[in-house]
Amino acid sequence: MPRLTRILSLLPFILPGFLPASPSLDHARQARALLGDATWSRVVRIENANRSSVYPSELYALVFELGGLLWFYTDADGTQSLSLHRHRLAAEKANLAPLLQAIEPGFVVHEIVPEEQARPLVVAEAPPNACLLESHALLRRRQAEGEPILHARLLSYYIPQRRAGHTVLYYETPRGAFVIDPDRPRKRVHVRKAAHDDPRTLAEAIRPRLQISGARWIPASAAPGETRLATAGSPLKRAWLQQERGPD
């Protein structure tokens, strides 16, 4: 009996390590894996005090840096801009509270998940609503395979009938310009030069059967020493990024 009592007393310390993580934590971990170690990112646990919010009372999100801005991913509604200003990355990373509350005033408490708990336990398929992250991962994969990428950026576009936008990878090589949709990662679409500069023209070219309500470029970042990538075209506006939840 004393032995059984001792075993039972240890259970509260043993069992938590074996309990399944919340889905949003698993998805935030997987999102971080898509970005890779070369991109700054943090998994964040958030408490939401707004009971009428679209977000649950507790959630996990991924905050990451891309193209000189901070971004915010959740499995509920994809990726959106987190930065409130340009050229203030260090200050914004050091104080996430006002940025999070600009997305949802109920985000009154947050904490950075420790590094050892922020890594995915098992490599799995991409998390929900992660097309922006998947597009970034496609770029990294192309670079790792040695494709001579001269210029790359992400294209996000919106469709009126859908709640969120969609993001694809656009890149140029000596052989021409191409688009890869993370929903069809094995299909590379060659695009004509005339469609390169205007994001909406390009979105309409690759999705001719859809009504495109808006499109924007998002800068793509590479690890130091990898293929040089171009900067973004038009500056991103937070209002545009939040007019519809997304891009996923």
Of the candidates 99, 114, 34, 78, which has an alpha carbon nearest to the alpha carbon of residue 248? Answer: 78
| Model pLDDT, residue 36 | 87
| pLDDT given for residue 24 in this prediction | 92
How far apart are the C-alpha atoms of 220 and 213, rounded to whole Å? Answer: 23
Joined together, the tokens standing for residue 51 give 């009971």
Residue 9 — pLDDT band, cuts 50, 70, 90? very low
* Phi, psi dihedral angles at 241 (to 5 degrees): -65, -25
pLDDT score for 197: 80
pLDDT in tens, 62-77: 999 998 899 999 999 9
Decide if pLDDT at 101 tops 70: yes
135 Cβ partners below 8 Å, 6+ apart? Answer: 154, 167, 168, 169, 180, 182
Integer Cα distance of 179 and 135 in angstroms: 10
- Residue-level pLDDT at 190: 93
- Whether the predicted model's global pTM rises above the 0.85 cut: no
How are the residues of the chain apportioned to helix, strand and coil, as percentages rounded to the nearest 5? Answer: 30, 25, 45
pLDDT of residue 126: 85
pLDDT over 60 (residue 1): no
Please answer whether residues 247 and 167 qualify as being in contact, where contact means their C-beta atoms are separated by less than 8 angstroms. Answer: yes
Model pLDDT for residues 150-199, shown as the tens digit of each residue: 999 999 999 886 666 899 999 999 999 999 999 999 999 999 865 668 99
Given this model, what pLDDT does residue 248 score?
62
Q: Which tens digits make up the pLDDT trace of 185-238?
A: 999 999 986 566 899 999 999 999 888 999 999 988 644 333 333 223 222 333
Select the more confidently predicted residue: 146 or 235.
146
Predicted local distance difference test score (pLDDT) of residue 178: 95
pLDDT, position 37? 87
